[in-house]
Amino acid sequence: MHKTNVLGTQNLLAAASGEVKRWVQLSSTGVYGNKPAQDVNEDTAINPMNPYEVSKAAADELVYNAMMAQQLQGVILRPSNVYGVDMPNQSLFQLINMIKRGWFFFIGNKGLSLIIFTLKT
């Protein structure tokens, strides 16, 4: 996990230096540890508990440091679910179905807009 998540991110950042303007880091909510006591937001302290979570937190730090050094613009995403055919939790599939039904619409240009959810009655 360390080789893939930490060293891999380090190598990619080095290769991207001067070539990539924006970086999207796919992390994990696991970096917060087991069930944080409060809602999670940008100010929530990380508390990784296992080797996977530790490696994701270390990779995030590499990206964050590159962003702070103004080497690139970026964002660190920490999704709670990753999409896959065999997902036991069907909530993402339900979201996709709502999008297909037109219950979401864009405001502004699709590339720079907010997605608004509307519940049709």
For residue 5, count other CB atoms closer than 10 A to its CB: 22
| 64 closest CA partner among 56, 76, 53 | 76
pLDDT category of residue 105 using cuts at 50, 70 and 90: low
pLDDT digits 0-9 by tens, 77-95: 888 766 667 777 777 778 7
Question: Which superfamily is assigned to 1-80 in CATH?
Answer: NAD(P)-binding Rossmann-like Domain (3.40.50.720)
Domain with CATH 3.40.50.720 in the chain: 1-80
Question: Can you give the pTM of this predicted structure?
Answer: 0.66
